[in-house]
Structure formats: C-alpha cells, structure tokens
Chain A
C-alpha cells in the first residue's frame, strides 16, 4: 500500500494567515493526489483533485501543487471556517489510501 505522510500534525495559525500543508508519498504517484477537509462530526469534503484542480464550489484561496512524491495544500488567507482537519488521498495505486491528517487550529 502507498503510505502518505502528512506534516505537520498540527498547525496553529490565526485568521488571515497563510497555511501550508505537506503530504509526502512513499513512492511516486504522478499527480494522483487529492485533498479533503473535515470538520468535527461531518463527512469529509473534497477540495482538490489531480494535485491542483479545485473541486466545484471550492474557494480560490485553496490551492494544491506538487507531483511525484511531494505535494502541498496552500490556504492563502485563513477564514474562520477553514479551521479543520485536512487529509490527503492518493489514487496512484490500489488500495486508495489517506494520509494521517493535519489539524489546522486557531492560535
């Protein structure tokens, strides 16, 4: 299985700050990576797929980059509703796997 390692585990920031989240794959997966946001008690929400494509309805402050083994999710200016847990997911090989998550919390 392809292991995805997310860092940091927790990111403490203030509204308006820039958030940079990392996801590293143990083997190359081209651009086969997605990012999800999950708030407590809710289902995940797809933000980014194919490493850099925003899903429908996702604000432009969310952007994804990377290919191969190193990927980044950037939130350009944090809004209050962006404080949540973020997961990366790969589809480069079966089974689909998720990273362990990065919690973005209010500083």
Chain B
C-alpha cells in the first residue's frame, strides 16, 4: 500500500525558509514523479512543481522558480521541498503527492497528509 508521510506543521517568520519532507513507502520511489501542491486557507489547489527522483530533475511553475528547490534522498525514499524568502502569502497547507503513472502523466494519485506552514511575524 502506497503511503506518503509529511513532516509536521511549522511556523516561520517572513524572509525565512521552510523545508518539508515527504517519506514514501509501498512503491519504488525512483519510478514515479513527486508533485508538490499547496492550498492557502479556504482557497483552491496550486501546483508548485514536480521532481523526478530517478535523475533529480524538476519542472517548476514559473511563479516559484528561483524560490523553490525540490530534492530527494532515494536511500530513504524521501522527497523534500524547500521554499525561500517566505511571506504571508505562503501560509498554506503543502502537499506532496505521487504521479499516477511511472512515465510522469501529470495525474496525481496518492497524497501525503499535508503540512500546514504559517508565516507570521
């Protein structure tokens, strides 16, 4: 059974960085892209980008380029998403999720539980 377990909630000050981890199990980690999606309080879903854990390449939404880094450690089947220069608009629940197919379909099936990040001075 596929599981994605994310790190816990966090509070950050404006200008700081956040790093969320996503520990996976139940499938071959390097065979599937990992997506990162965020959701501001009471708002819709926003795709941030995806990581190919096999070759450590990323596709990022232009909005986040220069501010987001997605990495992985295949030895522990874990993906990471770092977001720098935080501001209040970055307050959101951050989700990691696995692509449905091993060729990177862009469809997102198994999701982590979400990590609430609050940016406040």
Contacts and interface: CB of A to CB of B under 8 A. Distances in A.
Interface of A: 32, 34, 36, 38, 43-46, 49-50, 55-56, 87, 89, 91, 94-101
B100 A46 contact: yes
B42 to A, nearest CB: 11
Interface residues of B, number: 24
A82 B100 CA distance: 22
Nearest to A45: B111
Interface stretch (B10-18, B76-84, B101-109): B101-109
B44 A91 contact: no
Nearest to B93: A43
Contacts, number: 60
Contacts of A32: 106
Contact of A87 (B44, B60, B63, B111): B44
Contacts of B108: 34, 36, 44, 46, 89
Contact of B109 (A55, A96, A98): A55
B59 to A, nearest CB: 6
- State the majority secondary structure of interface residues on B: strand
Contacts of B62: 95
B83 to A, nearest CB: 16
Contact of A49 (B49, B107, B114): B107
- 6 nearest A-B residue pairs (beta carbon): A91-B106, A43-B111, A95-B61, A96-B47, A98-B45, A49-B107
Contact of B114 (A43, A50, A95): A43
A43 B113 contact: yes
A43 B112 contact: yes
Contacts of B119: none
B107 A34 contact: yes
Contacts of A95: 47, 49, 59-63
A42 B91 CA distance: 17
Given A43-B114, A49-B100, A98-B45, A91 B107 contact: yes
Contacts of A97: 47
Contacts of A43: 95, 97, 111-114
